[in-house]
Amino acid sequence: MDNCIFCKIRDGVINSEKLYEDDVFFVIRDLNPQAPIHLLAIVKDHHKYLSELDEAGMQDIAHILSYMSKHAKDFKLDAGYRVIINQGENAGQTVPHIHIHFLGGKKLDF
In order, the DSSP letters of 4-26 are: -HHHHHHTTSS----SEE-SSEE
Q: Report if residue 73 sits inside a domain.
A: yes
25 forms bridges with which residues in the sheet? 43
71 is catalytic: no
Question: Nearest Cα to 41, choosing from 19, 58, 59, 56?
Answer: 19
Euclidean distance between CA atoms 82 and 21, whole angstroms: 21
Q: Which domain holds residue 30?
A: 5-104
Q: Which domain CATH number covers 25?
A: 3.30.428.10
pLDDT digits (tens, 9 = 90+) for 29-72: 999 999 999 999 999 999 999 999 999 999 999 999 999 999 99
Any domain includes 34: yes
- Cβ count within 10 A of residue 50: 12
Catalytic residue among 38, 97, 99, 101: 99
Torsion, Cα of 108, 105, 9, 42 (10° steps): -60
Residue 66 lies in a domain: yes
**Residue 109 domain-assigned (yes or no):** no
Q: What is the rounded average pLDDT for all residues in the chain? A: 95
Residue 110 belongs to some domain of the structure: no
- Angle 46-94-87 from CA coordinates, rounded to 5°: 70
Instruction: Examine residue 15 and state whether it is found in any structural domain, yes or no.
Output: yes
Q: What are the pLDDT digits (tens) for 80-94?
A: 999 999 999 999 999
Structural domain total, the chain: 1
